[in-house]
Amino acid sequence: MALLNEQELQAKAKALADQLRAGDVLLLDGDLGAGKTSFTKGLAAGLGIADYIKSPTFTIIREYQDGRLPLYHMDIYRLEDGGAGDLGLEEYFEGDGVSVVEWPEFLGSAMPEEYLMIHFHKDPQNDDLRVLTYTAVGARAEALAAALA
């Protein structure tokens, strides 16, 4: 399995960005500091978004409208005790942009029906390397996963 440094991880995200379409949902799964936001930054760059802000920690949802497609970046870490079901996320998931969710384990009832989940694994030997694995649910996600592999 490929070990990626941060630059390579962001290059992967940029390559994925080229394939994305309105309504695609990416769920980013991994520990604190695993690289989910770093990946999203690469994705934003790939979509041609110029005003990317590092992390939506205090804003659960950030919308970027200045790229090839709108990007909806959600970090629901602070909703570990629930509440994601009240955010109206379905409208984003089914909307005219690409949705990216950090900490999807807290989605609860708001879990989308189809998605590409990207799992971020830290290399136990080297703090600067990551391995990505994928879980694709739905034909569209499977096509994206195949393009990434």
In the complex, the residues that contact ligand ATP under the rule CB under 6 A are 4-6, 9, 30, 32-38, 77, 102, 128-130
Decide: is 36 part of the binding site for Mg ion (CB under 5 A).
yes
Query: Between 62 and 94, whose beta carbon lies closer to ligand ATP?
Result: 62
CB of 38 to Mg ion, least distance (A): 8
Decide: is 41 part of the binding site for Mg ion (CB under 5 A).
no
Q: CB within 8 A of 85, min separation 6: which ones?
A: 108, 109, 110
Query: Between 92 and 120, whose beta carbon lies closer to Mg ion?
Result: 120
Decide: is 38 part of the binding site for Mg ion (CB under 5 A).
no
Query: Between 131 and 137, whose beta carbon lies closer to ligand ATP?
Result: 131
Tokens representing 147 are 């393009």
CB of 12 to ligand ATP, least distance (A): 10
CB of 38 to ligand ATP, least distance (A): 3
Segment contacting Mg ion (CB under 5 A): 16-24, 31-39, 93-101, 117-125?
A: 31-39
